[in-house]
Structures are given as C-alpha cells and as structure tokens.
Chains A and B, each alone.
Chain A
Amino acid sequence: MKISKVNAAFRSIGQFQIKHRYIILLLFVILTVICCGGLSHFKMVNGSEGWYGSGDQLQINKERYEAVFGNNHNLGVLVVADDVFSEEILNVIQRLGDRMLSEVPFADKLTSLIEVEIPVGNQEGFEVVKPYEKGIPSDPQALKERKNFVLRGTEKTNALINSLVNEKGTETWVTLTLLPYEGDPDDESLEVGYALDKILESDEFKSDSYKLYGCGQPYSDVQEEIYEYPDYILRVLLGFAVMVVCLIIFVRSLLGVVIPAIATVGAIASVLGGMAYFGVKADSALITLPILLGMALSIGYSIHYINMFKLFFFRTGKRKESAVSTIEECGWSVFFTVLTTIASLISFALVDMRPVAWVGKTATLVVLAVYVYVSILIPVFFSFGKDKAPNAKYEKGSTAVDIAFSKWADTVLRRKWLIILISVVVLAACVPGMMGIQVKFDILGISGDKMPHIKKIYELIRKDLGNMYSYSVMISYGEDDVDIFKQPEKIEKLEELENFLGTLSLTKKSGDKPRVSSVLDILKEMNRALNEGSDEFYTVPEDEYVLAQLMELSNIEMHKDFSELMDDEYRIATIDVDMEQFQSEEAVKNVSAINQKLAELFPDAQCCILGDMIEFAEMTVRMVRGEIKSFLFSFIVIAVMLILAFSSLRTGLIGMIPNVAPVIMIAGFMGYLGYYLDYITMTVMPMILGIAVDDTIHLTTHLKYGLEKYGSYQVAMEASFREIGKSMFMTTAILCSVFFVYIISPLHYIFVIGILCVIGLAGALLADYTITPALLYIIKPFGKEKNKE
C-alpha cells in the first residue's frame, strides 16, 4: 500500500471539508443536538441484573423461576442488639416492618418476630400463633415468656432458630418479599431500594442501642448509586480536568484547548445519547471507561492535528491550505490507529457478558466519534481566520530533546542484542506472575473496603445470621407429572438434596444449622403441629396418602409460604440456600457438585441453579473464555491490519511483538500484585494492545518513509525518533495522566484499572523505545538498505 496515494485521498477529503465547512459545521451541530437529546433517556444498570442477555440460558431459567415463584428480589434488614426480644427492640422491629410494608413499593409479605406465624400443636389440635399479635408487652416476665416461646427447642427442632433469629437472641431478620414488577424492572427495583434506604436512614431508626443492616439486590443497587456514582462522576470530571491541563501544556492556545474539549464532549455525549435513544442501558461499573478512553485518545488525536496544523501554518501562513495539508499528513496515520484501537475494543463484543459487550460497543463508538469530531472540527475551525506571514522559526528543525531521541536510536542500534536479552529476561520474569493470575469475581472484593456501604456489608456478613449472597435450586418436572412431589420417594430425594446442599463449602451456617430452606420445613412444622406438637413428628410422613394430604393442607393453610417453594401442581420445587461468602473457584466446584447430585437424584427432571452462585460461577468461566477470545481476536485483527498496512507479513508480525510485551507485563503484575482477573480487569489487556500498537504504527510508518528517503535503517530510525520520539512520549504521558485519575479512586476495581493501564501504557512506550527499533534493526523488514546518505 503506497502511503502517498492514501495521503492524496485524505487530501481530497480535506479539500472537501474546508470547501463545505459551513455546511459541515451546521450538520455537526444538528447531529450533536439530536443525539444529545437522547441523554434525557440515559439510564444505567448496576448489580448482576444486567449481566446476561435475554437469550441467555441463565436468564431463561430465571424467567421460568419467576413465572412460577414470582419476583426473586426481596429485601432484608438484620436487626442487631443486645436483646432483640426487649420491648424497645421489638417496637423498633414493629415500626420498621410497618414502614416497610407501607412505604416500599411492591411489598408483599413481611416476616419478622412480630409477624411470624408459628404452627403449634397441642392435645386438642393446632394453633397458628403470632407471639406478639396482641401487642408488645411491657412486663419483663411476659417478654421473657414470649422470648422463650420463640426460642423453644433447639435449632434442629425449631425452624426459626438460627434462621429468623439467632439462638443468643441478639440478631433477627425483618424480611420483605416483593410482588412481581410491572414495568421496567431496573427502575422499579431502584424505587424499592430507595424506599428501604429512606426508612433505614430516617431519624426514627438512629440509635446507639441497635444497628440495622439492609440487604437485598434492590437495596445494594441503591447503595451503589448513592456511594459509587459520585465517584464515577468525580473520575470523569478529573479526567476532563486532566485533559484540559494536557491541552494547555502541549498546545498552548485558546482555540487548541476549546475546540478539542468541545469535540470530545460532543462526541462522547452524542454516542451516549444516541445509544440511549435505542434503549441501551449503560453499565454503571464500566461507564467511566469509554468516557476516559475517549478523552485520552481525543487529546492524542487533537495534538497530532493541531501540531501538524501549526507546523504548516507557520511555514506557509495560509490557514485553509494548512488545514488541508494537516488532513493529508495526519489523516491516514491517525485513522489507522483508530482502526487498531477499535479492533481491540470491538473484541469485547465477543464476550458473553453484557457489561463487557456494552463497554466494547460503547468504547468503539466513542473512539470512532471522537476521531470523526476531532478530525473534522479541528481543521475546519483552524481554517477560519486571517492568513499570516510564514514564520521562519519553524524551519529551524529539531530541538535538543529531538536530538536526544535521535541519539537514543543510535544507542539501540549498538546495544540491540543487549536490549533483546534484557527484554526477554524482563518478560520471562513476568511469566510466573502471569501464571499465578486468579480468575475470581466478588463484588465485595473488587470494591475494596474503603467505601462506607462496603464496610457495612463486611460487618453484616460477619454476623451470625448475616449473609450477602444466596441461590436457589429449581427441580422442575413436566406438565404430565402433576403431583409428583406428593410421592414420598421424591420428597426423600428432595430432603437428600437439601442435606447435601447444607454440606457444601459455600453454604452459610448459623450456629450448626446450614441456611437451606425448602418446602420440607413447612411440612415438618405442619406434621408436628397435627401430632400434638411432638418433636418426634418433626419429620416428613412416609405414608403417601398422609403426605399428599399434608401437602395439600400446608398449601391451603400456609399458602403464601408454601407457594414460594413449590408450585400449585406439586411438580416444581425450589430450595433456597444462603451463601457464607463468595469464592469463584469454590463456586465452580459447588456448582459442579450440585449438578452431579441433581443428575443422580432427579435424572428425569429439568434442574437448574439460579441466583448469585451460578451467576458468579458462570461469570468466572465466561471471563476466562471471554478474555482468551477477546485477546486473540484483537491480536489477529491488529496483526492482519499491520500486515496489510505494511504490505509485509514479516513487518506485521514484528510489529505485534512489542505490543504483546506490555500485555505480558500487565499479566505479570496482576499475578504478583494479587489482582484478580474479573469482568472489569479483563478489559484492560485487549484495550492496551489496541492503544499500544498506535506508537508502533507511527514508528514503523516513519521508518518505512525514512528508509525510502534515506536508504539506511540507522538514519531512518534516527530521523523517526527525532520526529516522533517526543510525541510518542507525550501521547503516552497524556494517556497515563488520564488513567491516573483512576489510581486515586477509593473504589478498588477503579484503582486496579488505573494501575494496570498505566503499567501497560508505560510498558508499551518502553517497548517502542527499545524492542521495536531493536527488532527492526535486526530483521530489516523493509528490505535491504540502499544509498546511504
């Protein structure tokens, strides 16, 4: 591919641009205004709700579950006090429950010490007792009696102990199930979460004698909005400030700061607004990434264009001509770097997870839009104004720094083998770290422990009853198998599965009781209540007729509770499990063990796992697959692009070597620093590959051009370093400065992205100063040297 021909094509584009600059400006204004109008529809999703698309098996299973058992969201508040059975705390529980029922939208069923209904058997029959139905007593003796009643028996014979209330009586749950959402589940979930937050933050519940810990997906999402969104906004504002400072330092003209700033903001706002028109919701955790990336790249593109314009303008003094020449000179090289960056970003679309796919699509569009805005608006705006007389200063040539870079090229030539050796050693040292990267995902882990809401979650999960994650196992028989769970052998298997789930490593245990619940708890309670309250009947009946009748009776008498765990046709059952903590490797093992057990116990049923466990385990598997796919895709596409651009297989492949080096460095650092590969950090490596290759392209293009001009690799390399060595440093410094705003974030995952990006970008620059020229010297990809000057 002849660069001169490509440049000529860009010159024609430039001429068109300048000729029709008013129309182009008008079109840009109209386009930007229309697209920005979409920002009023802009919405973000957070939490795990948006991780999997509608066609995903996990989502299909979830919809099947919700069709039978209703909304799988619920809310919980853990009340912690010296004695939750004291009059004061019981009143708190009552007021809290009343407010949750009346203020939380979609409130369905409240369970608390005040609301709990306990079937109690006696000689005459059975009674459904609400311990505080007639009010909370003030008399200490009456309070004690009720406490003893609720905590009667042991955790083995009392379903409430270490489930609703801990055996010490210092912790208790107030839980609220929700009715199905009617409109947009994301919006309605937030309404629910905000309602609970309002209650918990109200003065009514501020006290030193107890603590309230809210939980549940809607509440967690709202906490994220309250505490994390301001940080995202701060990162973007800081990024913008860095961008302006960089432009002031490197461009030093008012127009040179204002136009790129407008172009960048316009481009990013247009993309986000345009996507909002199509109902695309942004991922909150990754929202800053395309914005900061857009800003960083925009500065780089702008500096190229503005410096080039200045060069031509000072040489010629003619504005329009300088603008056209700028497009001619910069057009292809900048566009090519845009293409390689896009190739790396679009690779995320291959990942089977919505946030990563979203960041891929959005960042691609942002980079493209930023390029279009900068490459069109800067020459157009700079073409306005009066012409000036040429300035001889700009004909003088290189600065001292340029000369120093030129000398560095000579040093590399002399020490090329040493450089290769050191590079190999450094990269080899990164390999053990790379091998030690753990694929792990944990919302708490990635958020760190500096944010107040995360600190509170850590406190919550350390409590006897506290837990953050949970999952369900659904066993579903076909439509012809109505009443199948009335068969004692099926119920026995359900019990075997329940016991098995209780033994798994991630299952939360309160006291010695695994936090696993199914319809068996209700059946046991009812059976005991129907048999004079005798603990020996705290079992599931073995007789089929008795069991069938007990199930029907339980469904009728305790319909609300029953219907949350078994369908009305007695062919779909679910078991709920609270999790102790989340470790992705353990989750993968637990999921595998559960699936094996399900296949063994219910071979003829359709079984699935739903909720946090499977979503996180699946995410772990998909992260590894996604990272490999994404990296290979961007590697191959960029390599092909380099090969085509340089019309040389050898050059293309050599060009890739210095760009794989920073990726190996990132991976090595991740391993050594103990950073996990998760859905956020996995975006860094392909992205760095896409950005890092830009300097390699610039350097190689200049070398090729210099070789055509001077005929000598050494001279061409010296000339290349003299011409672009400084700007390579400048663009990397700008990118690092922008990503540095991540490093000062209190959110751990944002901090990690910042660190990894800075390491990657600095590594890429180092590689382009060392490995790239050394390899080019050694391999001489553009053929033999000609006349040496």
Chain B
Amino acid sequence: MRKLIIICAVIMLAAVTSVPAQTAQEIAKAVYDLPDGNTSSHVAVLTLIDKAGKSRVREIAQYNMKDGTTKKCVTVFRSPKDVAGVSYLSFDYPDNPDGSLKDSDSWLYLPAMKKVRRVSGSSKDDDFQGTDFTYDDMGDRSLGKDTFAILGEETVDGISCWKLEYTAKDKGAKISRRVLWIGKDNYVTYKGEYYDKQNKLFKTMECQDIAQIDGYWTTKKMIMTTLTTNHKTVYEMKDIQYDNDINPAFFTVSALEREQVK
C-alpha cells in the first residue's frame, strides 16, 4: 500500500512539474507572434552573388510601423546610384475573419519620373527585390497558408531547436514545404530548408549574428542560397533600432513624392 502511494505521488508530481508539450501549430504561432516593436528601422545591405562568384550590392533603408493591425513599411533604395531614391510604401493587413488573405496596398516612387504609382498584384511568392528571398521569406507568412508538423529536435550551433515543417496548403505553391529550425528558448529561426513541388531541396537559409537588440531577438545576417542556380543573397542588417521615434508621415504617399524618406 505504501509503495502504491509513493508511485501515485511520483506520477502526480511528474504531471504537475512537466511543461505541457507544445504542438506544431503553437510553435508556429509563437514564431509568427515574435515581438518586433511598434516601430523599427534598419539599413540592409543586399549582396547578390551569382554562381561564378560575382556580386552586386544594393543598399536599402527600411522603416516599419504598426498602426493598429496594419503593418506599414517604407523601403528606400540607397544604392546603386541608378535606383537611389526609388521607394516603396506598403500596408499589410491581417487576414480576413473568414481566413482569406487581404491584399496589401503598395506604392512605388520613381525619382526619375517624379511619380508615385500605386502597385498591386505582386504575389508574396515573388522574389523580394530580385533576390533569392521571396516576400514570404522576408515577412510574416500568414499561418493560414500552411499546415505544421514537428519533425524532431536538433541542435544548431549549440542551440536546441525544433525542426518544424510548414507544408503549403496550396498544392500549386512554388515552395511546397519549408523546414525551419526554431530555437526552443526564443522561437527564433536558426536555419531553413525550402522544398519545391517535387519535394526537392530548392533553397537553404542560414541565419547568423542572432542577438537581442533592445530586448528583441534580431537576425542580423541571413544567407539564402538557391541550389538549382547556385545563386545566393546575403541580407545584412545594420543600424537596427526598435521602438524608435519614426515620423508617422514617412508612411504616406506624399512623403514618397517629396523624397522625405532617405
């Protein structure tokens, strides 16, 4: 009888003290909800390297602001000189209540034409500024687009990670499956693999210089390599600031026209 009481007590204690296991969906949501401040800004150096090793560098400045549930972003090209001053303004909205996606609003300013043009229709599957990243890779891909599964646990550079699989619900999606290594302690992505429709490894992502800045987890350097073309893009962030004082007027069409955002 005494033995039985001890066993029951041990079982109950174990049940109380163990952390409830997270589901894949919960982990994906935690990654999606990772805080990044109400405002933020950084300068990004994009180095595009072709298979022969030749590289081209673009520098952009990016400003972000949350306005209620709307995410506003201004991107300004600083180099090369031909595109210096070309800027994009985009408003991203949350998914509709029925789970369907709500189109974002975007505007483009071309200094050579002194014109702001409204841009619509570009897909999140498209390349981000002609790089190996897509808009989906750079931003928050809507959770409604995928199903999730935990493939296992692995250590990346000494960090204990979940190996989380995102499978696109859209069977025609160019990237059918993503496998991301998510830090168990911080929900930060440490590396990724992207598979095409034939489930063949298509792209890999390496994340480096991951650190907390102003209390926010930040990946300062990402390298995306497209294996089929052996082309890679290095995305390096500098001058990173969170919750900084950004003029809300930056996120307007007129600010683009006046070339106010540099």
B112 in contact with A549 (CB, 8 Å):
yes
Query: What is the minimal beta-carbon distance from A534 to any residue of chain B, in angstroms?
Result: 13
**Are B130 and A556 in touch, CB under 8 angstroms?**
yes
Does A432 touch B at the CB level, under 8 Å? no
Please give, as numbers and ranges, the residues of chain A lying within 8 Å of B50 by CB-CB distance. 568
Q: Is B121 an interface residue (CB 8 A)?
A: yes
Q: A105-B198, A179-B228, A180-B229 are in contact. Are A483 and B110 (CB under 8 A)?
A: no
Give a binary string over A116-152; 1 marks a CB under 8 Å from any B CB, 0 the rest: 0100010011111110000000000000000000000
Shortest distance between the CB of A328 and any CB in chain B (Å): 65
Bound together, the chains give a CA A102 to CA B197 distance in angstroms of 6
Residues of A within 8 A of B54 (CB): 569
Q: How far is the CB of A180 from chain B (nearest CB, A)?
A: 6
Of the candidates A102, A483, A557, A568, the one whose C-beta lies within 8 Å of that of B198 is A102
Q: Are A530 and B113 in contact (CB under 8 A)?
A: yes
B11 lies within 8 A of chain A by Cβ = no
User: Interface size bucket, A side?
Assistant: 35 or more
A130 near B121: Cβ-Cβ < 8 Å:
yes
CB of A450 within 8 Å of the partner chain:
no
Known A102-B171, A546-B113, A569-B56: A179·B82 in contact at CB below 8 Å? no
Distance (whole angstroms) from the CB of B192 to the closest CB of chain A: 20
Contact of A546 (CB < 8 Å), options: B80, B83, B112, B229:
B112
A553 in contact with B110 (CB, 8 Å): yes
Evaluate contact between A559 and B121: CB separation under 8 angstroms. no
Nearest CB in chain B: distance from A73 CB, A = 14
In the complex, which residues of chain B have a beta carbon less than 8 angstroms from the beta carbon of A127?
A: 118-121
Contact partner of B172 among A101, A130, A550, CB < 8 A?
A101
Q: Are B112 and A126 in contact (CB under 8 A)?
A: no
Whether a CB of chain B sits under 8 angstroms from the CB of A304 is: no
Interface residues of B in 36-64 (CB under 8 A from A): 48, 50-52, 54, 56
Instruction: Identify which of residues 117-154 in chain B touch chain A, using a CB-to-CB cut-off of 8 Å.
Output: 117-122, 126-127, 129-130
Is the CB of B115 closer than 8 A to any CB of chain A? yes
Judging by beta carbons under 8 Å apart, are B110 and A549 in contact? yes
Identify A530's interface contact among B117, B122, B197, CB under 8 A.
Answer: B117
Asked whether any CB of chain B lies closer than 8 Å to the CB of A733, the reply is no
Q: How far is the CA of A510 from the CA of B141 in the complex (A)?
A: 43
Minimal Cβ-Cβ distance residue in B for A103: B198
A369 shortest CB reach to chain B, Å? 43
Measured in the bound complex, the distance between the Cα atoms of B216 and A324 in whole Å is: 96
Take A125-B108, A549-B83, A569-B54 as given contacts and tell me if A117 and B130 are in contact as well, using a CB distance cutoff of 8 Å. no
Q: How many residues of B contact A (CB 8 A)?
A: 34
Whether B121 lies near A556 (C-beta < 8 A) is no
Given A180-B229, A552-B82, A553-B83, check contact A128 B121 (CB 8 Å): yes
Q: Which residues of B contact A180 (CB under 8 A)?
A: 228-229
In the complex, the answer to whether B119 meets A486 with C-beta atoms within 8 Å is no
Q: In whole angstroms, what is the CA distance A117 to B122 when docked?
A: 9
Of the candidates B51, B52, B83, B198, which one forms a contact with A552 in the assembled complex, judged by CB atoms under 8 Å apart? B83
User: Which chain A residues border B129 with CB–CB below 8 Å?
Assistant: 556
CA A231 to CA B127, docked complex, whole Å: 48
- Given A530-B113, A555-B130, A568-B56, A548:B120 Cβ within 8 A: no
8 A Cβ contacts from A647-668 to B = none
Asked whether A417 is an interface residue with its Cβ less than 8 Å from the other chain, the reply is: no
With an 8 A cutoff between CB atoms, is A591 at the interface?
Answer: no
CA distance A483 to B115 in the complex (A): 24
Q: In A71-125, which residues have CB < 8 Å from any B CB?
A: 98, 101-102, 105-107, 117, 121, 124-125
- Contacts A102-B198, A180-B229, A569-B56 known; A486 to B51 CB distance under 8 Å? no
Q: Is the beta-carbon distance between A125 and B116 smaller than 8 angstroms?
A: yes
> Which residue on chain A has the smallest CB distance to residue B106?
A125
- B-chain residues with CB within 8 Å of residue A543 when the two chains form the complex: 112
Q: Is B86 an interface residue (CB 8 A)?
A: yes
Is there a chain A Cβ closer than 8 Å to B32's Cβ?
A: no
- Please, which residue of chain B has its CB at the minimum distance from the CB of A549? B112
Q: What is B's interface to A at a CB cutoff of 8 Å?
A: 48, 50-52, 54, 56, 80, 82-83, 86, 107-108, 110-113, 115-122, 126-127, 129-130, 171-172, 197-198, 228-229
7 closest cross-chain pairs (CB), A and B:
A125-B118, A125-B117, A128-B121, A548-B82, A549-B112, A559-B130, A179-B228
